[in-house]
Chain A
Amino acid sequence: MARIVAGVGCSHIPSIGAAADNNKEQDPYYKPLFDGYAPARQWIKGVAPDVVILVYNDHASAFSVELINTFVLGVGDQFKPHDEGYGPRKVPDVQGHGELASHILESLILDEFDMALANEMTVDHGLTVPLTVMFDKPDAWPCKVIPLCVNVIKYPQPTGNRCFNLGRALRKAVESYPEDLKVAVFGTGGMGHQLQGERAGLINQEFDQNFLDHLLDKPEELTKLTHVDYLRDAGSEGIELIMWLMMRGAMQSPKAAYRFYHVPMSNTAAGLVCYEETA
């Protein structure tokens, strides 16, 4: 039986990827961040997941304004990095797990989570930066990756509660897959930030730290946050944190292995949590 063994919450700020791609990890601006990532990279080697279900959002890359889906699951066997304006990131192609993803897709829809399906799509920094954060710069990513893309750009985004419950359904889907596989779920994005408008640059460390405190032990409290709570207090792009709730929903009895928080990275607060499943 496949099992969810670990969860990761991880910011996916594009400048982290750019810093790694340009070997700037030791620059004074980036060093504290990459130093903070070192224990998580060590930890994930021990976890050694066979598959990562990576919950992220597309930033007007594979998807555009013609068609906006709330949840998309990538069932393809391979996903290439998207050209976000600078040429595609020179990171390995992402190898999917089409068979497990197909099983998850069917399980979720039968569980009344109506996912859209992508046989082919490119993946942007939302997906590739967390892989860089956790796995550094390998010639090939050390595991298969199933992309689960959430609309967090266009209002209304799915509620945090919906994401949390989808996470629970994800767990059920994984546990009903017969092959022995170790699965990790990454919830990415955030933490607090606002890129747009006169309020650009907003960071609310109190909100972020409270979110990190509650995510482990009292996620139900966080599922009550409304859209306007996120938009107002975490910044308009801080609503990406609903994707961390999906990861948390997929974990039953997590134990925190690591927590790291750093301000600023570009215009954003960077957070990282690593959870181990004890159930």
Chain B
Amino acid sequence: MGKDYDDIPGTYVFDTLRCKQGFQLNKFCKSLDQAGNRDKFRDDPGAYLDQYPMEAEQRRMVEKRDWLGMLQVGGNIYYTFKLAIFDGLTMQHVGGLMSDMSVDDFRAMMLDGGRKLEGNRSKKDNEAGS
């Protein structure tokens, strides 16, 4: 069923079905806010991930560190960011990786006032305009 927010470009609204789909993926990410778990994951990532029975595709996205892909299979940014912190990344690194920009370009864009709304507001408007 289409939702009004599906028209927003480049945005994965964490709704109830996505929340349900991403349950194990997000639970895994969340576990990394305990130092002991971070150590265990560092020591043996495979065994650690085995504790969270997620879909094969979700596990692949985690292993590839595909930050955009994780959102597309039910991940939520506040959860996946815990994995990014584990990897030593900032939100600006992740922002760049999700939008296909280098971190330097992403930072420069933010210093310049951020990504503009124009052209990013509505898929429908973009199609009509092209």
Contacts and interface: CB of A to CB of B under 8 A. Distances in A.
Interface of A: 59-61, 64-66, 68, 82-87, 153-156, 193-205, 227-228, 231-233, 236-237, 263-264, 266-267, 269
A240 to B, nearest CB: 12
Contacts of A61: 33
Counting contact residues on chain B (CB < 8 A from A), the size range is 35 or more
Contact of A198 (B68, B78, B85, B86): B68
Nearest to A68: B19
Interface string B98-118: 111000001001110111110
A196 B120 CA distance: 13
Contacts of A233: 117, 121
Contacts of A237: 77
A199 B121 CA distance: 9
Given A84-B33, A264-B111, A64 B5 contact: no
Contacts of B100: 198
Contacts of A64: 26-27, 30
B65 interface: no
A159 B32 CA distance: 31
A266 B110 contact: yes
Contacts of B95: 195, 200-201, 267
- A59, A84, A154, A201 pick with most chain B CB within 10 angstroms: A201
Give the dominant DSSP class at A's interface: loop
Given A193-B114, A198-B99, A199-B9, 18 more contacts: A60-B29, A64-B26, A85-B33, A153-B14, A153-B76, A154-B15, A194-B11, A196-B11, A196-B71, A197-B68, A198-B9, A199-B8, A200-B98, A201-B110, A201-B114, A236-B11, A266-B91, A266-B92
Given A202-B114, A232-B8, A59 B85 contact: no
A155 B18 CA distance: 10
The 5 closest A-B pairs by CB, nearest first: A203-B114, A198-B10, A199-B10, A85-B85, A200-B95
Interface in B61-85: 68, 71, 76-79, 81-82, 85
Contacts of A231: 5, 8, 11, 13
Interface of B: 4-5, 7-16, 19, 22-23, 26-27, 29-30, 32-35, 38, 68, 71, 76-79, 81-82, 85-86, 90-92, 94-96, 98-100, 106, 109-111, 113-117, 120-122
B86 to A, nearest CB: 7
Contacts of A199: 8-11, 99, 115, 120
Contacts of B120: 199, 202
B106 to A, nearest CB: 6
Given A153-B14, A201-B109, A266-B91, A60 B79 contact: yes
Contacts of B9: 198-199
A155 B8 CA distance: 15
A151 to B, nearest CB: 11
- A64, A87, A200 pick with most chain B CB within 10 angstroms: A200
